[in-house]
């Protein structure tokens, strides 16, 4: 009973840390890209720590734990971290590319008259 509540609490902390990393990667107003990369990397490192510690809770060698023989990388919090960090990185690179593309295309788009 206590182990199951501990697993749920650790998984909830894992989700919160990943949420904070994703929000901090995209929604920091007035920050340059270099600052965003550094801060997002630090938040993602914190999320990795929380997720791997949650994975250790999921694999505790207790007799009442049905997942005690599993590898650390096959636990739910660690898999969630791997998938979410890959998605955050892909979305971050796509937003970086699209923002740079928009800045380069700005003079061409704003110099033309609007046709109605």
Q: What is the pLDDT of residues 25-46, one digit of tens each?
A: 888 777 787 888 888 889 999 9
Q: Where are the domains of the chain?
A: 2-103
- Is the CB of residue 81 less than 8 Å from the CB of residue 51? yes
Q: Are residues 21 and 43 in contact, defined by beta-carbon separation less than 8 angstroms?
A: yes
- pLDDT given for residue 1 in this prediction: 80
Q: What crossing angle do the helices spanning 76-110 and 2-26 adopt, rounded to 10°? A: 10
C-alpha pair distances (Å), 70 with each of 1, 10, 53, 55, 88? 20, 17, 15, 10, 27
This prediction's pTM: 0.80
* Cβ proximity of 37 and 30 under 8 Å: no
Residue-level pLDDT at 111: 64
Residue 12: the pLDDT is: 96
Rounded CA gap, 58 and 19, in Å? 20
Which segments of the chain have a pLDDT < 50? none
Tens of pLDDT along 65-74?
777 778 889 8
Residue 70 and residue 47: Cα distance in Å, rounded? Answer: 21
């Amino acid at each position: 009973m206590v182990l199951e509540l501990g697993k749920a609490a650790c998984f909830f902390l894992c989700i919160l840390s990943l949420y904070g990393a994703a929000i901090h990667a995209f929604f920091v107003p007035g920050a340059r890209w270099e600052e965003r990369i550094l801060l997002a990397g630090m938040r993602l490192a914190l999320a990795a720590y929380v997720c791997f510690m949650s994975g250790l809770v999921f694999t505790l060698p207790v007799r009442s734990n049905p997942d005690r023989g599993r590898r650390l990388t096959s636990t739910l919090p660690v898999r969630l971290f791997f998938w979410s960090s890959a998605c955050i990185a892909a979305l971050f690179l796509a937003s970086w590319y699209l923002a740079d593309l928009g800045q380069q295309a700005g003079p061409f788009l704003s110099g033309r008259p609007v046709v109605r």
